[in-house]
Amino acid sequence: MNKFGELIDLITQFFKDINLELKRISWPAWKETVRSTGAVIVISIILAGFLGFIDFIFSMAVKVLLG
């Protein structure tokens, strides 16, 4: 039974520590969040287009070499 009590104490302390850490977080402002999200989406689209173009070029090269 003693080990069970220690386990409960450890779990309780774990959640108290989580609560403390969440209070220390510096959350970004709404504008900053929207701006950062927009930047991630734009960069992802550009990177996807670039990788798609490279894939197309390589697939055409393979078709020419093998066909």
- What secondary structure does DSSP assign to 4-65, as a single string? HHHHHHHHHHHHHHHHHHHHH--PPPHHHHHHHHHHHHHHHHHHHHHHHHHHHHHHHHHHHH
pLDDT value of position 51: 98
Query: Are 28 and 36 spatial neighbours (Cβ–Cβ below 8 Å)?
Result: yes
Question: What is the rounded distance in angstroms from the CA atom of residue 46 to the CA atom of residue 38?
Answer: 12
- Say yes or no to pLDDT of 1 above 80: no
8-52 per-position pLDDT tens digit: 999 999 999 999 999 999 989 999 999 999 999 999 999 999 999
Question: What is the rounded distance in angstroms from the CA atom of residue 38 to the CA atom of residue 10?
Answer: 41
pLDDT value of position 40: 98
pLDDT value of position 16: 96
Mean pLDDT score, 47-64: 97
- Say yes or no to pLDDT of 64 above 90: yes
